[in-house]
Structure 1
């Protein structure tokens, strides 16, 4: 029954408890260099530059992967993902991290196959063995036109694409989970049948709280992994029950219609027989 539900997760500070970019930079001891360069370029471009600096100091892709495998995640986030998938929900990720970081972490946790799609910045190992990070949207060629989002990625545009693909598959509802300012734009794209799950006391929660009436979706906050699991599964259960009740009502209505037609048919049949006799 939950097949009519698409659960969309942000990644940093939503699935995992930290920012994966900061985690790698801090764990490998390059925080000072990062902070010096931060005012000079967009975040996404800075991460690509930092990968170059890491490699020039002898850090390998394997070293980066090992650091990513130590990243903290609440155990009930893992169980929430597995439970939602087991209930038949389609799971997707929309994140401003990068594909290498996300896939490395999900594979380590045994969660990669639970997600049908990952929308994020490309991250790949080039021919020189260096990890490269490029923008989801190439802002050097054109702007995505959204003033709410960073130049490399508008999550609102991603959600609109997901909604367009869903419309071809029948009626579906989105549950969106996020924490950052970049999750505000997609929350504005959700409809009255959808659900927004902002992490409480994080940037997206603060933005929504300023004017919650701008959000058409039903809002359910959460503060940690335990509450995320509880709230998410409650919403899935509620949607599923509503779908069952709706289908039951449709079946009842159809049954009543058939009975009415049958009765009407019996009422007219004797008259037709008497004519032929």
Structure 2
């Protein structure tokens, strides 16, 4: 493992002489899934289960920008017609590789679970996400997963629904991650949880929307060269300082872990 992940526990162990353990700092860490936790788009990956690992043209032509969820409903219906079953999907989802450095980041987080509350916001589907996270051995790290509802009907077809409705003009019709994150923070505040900072790790345009709502104490971790990163750069050029959060781009999730590691050292 990268050396920057070493030694946090011991640095904190000998601080002060008080016998009362101080309340540990609490941070909210938000992950996207596709091309963030995993190194592929899981909706593209499931096409591997189709005959010839491809979709017919008449299915692909039904795609409309902003209505990807509806498109995937048709894709899953087609795959069901072709005999694709639960085990086929499960095999695909379990074998999607994690993004570079993500295993090391999850090892770090598993050793510092008292410092971070971790949630996942994804426009994929619950079945696929759970398969992937369980296969990677990291499912238990997440307090809550927000994604489109999915399951298998009486025919054995994978079915998909929209997560919710919203009025955000920037986001797909079925999901606005800013709405989800804002409501979650409100809910947790009512429950007495106070986060010193929010960290957001993502890659896509629909990750840019919630990151705009972050404050000056928060950190946005956009994957380098992906839409979220490009949009933060464009916003900075057009509206300097309008994007309040500190932007820390990453190629490898080890870079995210190192940043969090340094933060914990400063708190010790």
TM-score interval for Structure 1 and Structure 2 normalised by the shorter chain = 0.7 to 0.9
| Structure 2 gaps, min length 5 | 1-22
2:234 is matched with which residue?
Answer: 210
Other structure's SS at 1:162 match: helix
2:40 is matched with which residue?
Answer: 18
Name the CA shift for 1:171/1:180 in 2 (closer, same or farther; >3 Å): closer
2:121 is matched with which residue?
Answer: 94
Larger radius of gyration: 1
Other structure's SS at 1:121 match: coil
| Length-normalised TM-score, structure 1 | 0.79
1:134 is matched with which residue?
Answer: 161
Other structure's SS at 2:122 match: strand
Is 1:197 aligned to 2:224, yes or no?
no
Other structure's SS at 1:92 match: strand
Residue 182 of structure 1 deviates from its aligned partner by 0.3
1:124 is matched with which residue?
Answer: 151
C-alpha distance in structure 2 between counterparts of 1:210 and 1:147, whole Å: 19
C-alpha distance in structure 1 between counterparts of 2:91 and 2:180, whole Å: 30
Is 1:72 aligned to 2:97, yes or no?
yes
Name the CA shift for 1:4/1:16 in 2 (closer, same or farther; >3 Å): same
2:80 is matched with which residue?
Answer: 55
Pairwise CA RMSD: 2.0
| Contact 1:2/1:239 (8 A) holds in 2 | no
The higher relative CO (CA closer than 8 Å, separation ≥ 6) is in 2
2:138 aligns with one of 111, 119, 129: 111
| Contact 1:120/1:136 (8 A) holds in 2 | yes
C-alpha distance in structure 2 between counterparts of 1:170 and 1:157, whole Å: 19
Tell me the number of residue pairs that the alignment of Structure 1 and Structure 2 aligns.
235
